[in-house]
Amino acid sequence: MSLVLLALGLGSLAANADGPVPGWSGKEFKISPHDVIYIKVASHEELSGKFTVASNGVVAVPGVGVFNAATENARHLARAIAAALAPRLINPDVRVWIAWDNKVYVRGEVRNPGEYSLTPSMSVMDAIKQAGGRGDFAKRHARISVLRGSGVWYNYNEIVLQSGDVVFVP
């Protein structure tokens, strides 16, 4: 069975193909464009490595195939890779980790503008708090914007930040 580990700064969360491991919260983390993931195929180092999900959500695994990772969580991606390897390997053991060293950027009128580590379910206000809060010259009623890829999101209360997002406080 596939084993999936999601490494976080606070410890390790794990789930296998049959369901959550005891003590695990059951939270599934969706893979997003620009995420860094680790793929490990047991006993096959040549098929394992560190990969970055492209802006279109695709990850190419040399010798295995191309996968639409951004519509999956780590568990489903591990299953898809194992299925692609099944004709060549007996019971392939595939593990996928989402690297939580992803970054978000907070710019504009905050006390400490810069890059910050992305955490699961991080909100815009969480990122602003990490940046020390609004600066003395921040416009209190101005619209905070989130830049993601080629789009700009203004209704930031409804989004969860993703790797590479830029929060701008006017």
For domain 103-169, the CATH class is: alpha beta
Band the pLDDT of 5: cuts 50, 70, 90.
very low
Question: In 31-144, where do the E strands start and end?
Answer: 36-41, 49-52, 58-61, 65-68, 94-99, 103-108, 114-117
Measured in residues, the chain has a length of 170
Assigned CATH for 3-99: 3.30.1950.10
What is the bridge-based pairing of β-strands 36-41 and 11-16?
unpaired
Dihedral through CA 102, CA 106, CA 107, CA 110, nearest 10? -150
Domain ranges of the chain: 3-99, 103-169
Q: What's the pLDDT tens digit per position in 90-141?
A: 999 999 987 766 788 999 999 999 989 887 788 999 999 999 999 988 888 7
Tell me which of 11 and 58 has the higher pLDDT.
58
For 42, half-sphere exposure in the C-beta direction (CA atoms, 13 angstrom radius) is: 13
Model confidence over 28-38: pLDDT tens digits? 667 878 778 88
**Looking at the whole model, is its pTM more than 0.75?**
no
pLDDT at 29: 66
